[in-house]
Amino acid sequence: MLHPGARVVNNLRAPDAICVGANTHIKGELLTFAHGGSIRVGDYCFLGEHSRIWSARSVEIGDRVLISHNVNIFDNATHPINARARHEQFKSIIAGSHPLGIDLQERPVRIESDVLIGCMCVVLSGVTIGRGAIVGAGSVVTANVPPYAIVAGNPARLVREVPMHER
């Protein structure tokens, strides 16, 4: 279900670039870049208001994942490091299209089933968040998170594990 204010931006223009599972509610934004990207969201997931998933490679989200409000998930650097290339990207975007030939250091992101990501988190490229993990509010996830771990901070660090009776 796409709620009012939700956005789906398929710059890749491939019909299967963005797939959303059954009983999933989107209040934020799903975006693929023109040169690549795919977003797969499982069943019974939630993407909160003002949250964004921006893909130039691939973002896979399992089932029953709750992504709170103001979360950003990137499988890429979003902009080139080189100033000239960054300016060319900017000019292309303001002219109405994302550039096709661009290197944004893309690395897949995978969020396994039953994960909770607290508000105002950032998940960076190349990260896997394991099944049942919890990411505390305001965290910046720069490295893989093991299954059933509770992480928090900038960068996110292990706080403790989800107790066995809560799994």
Residues known to be catalytic: 87
Hey, is 128 helix, strand or coil? strand
Strands 134-135 and 109-111: unpaired
Strands (E), the chain: 7-10, 18-20, 25-26, 29-32, 39-41, 46-47, 52-55, 59-61, 66-67, 72-74, 109-111, 116-117, 122-123, 128-129, 134-135, 140-141, 149-152, 157-161
Name the token pair of 11.
Answer: 């710059």
CA 32 – CA 154 distance, rounded (Å)? 26
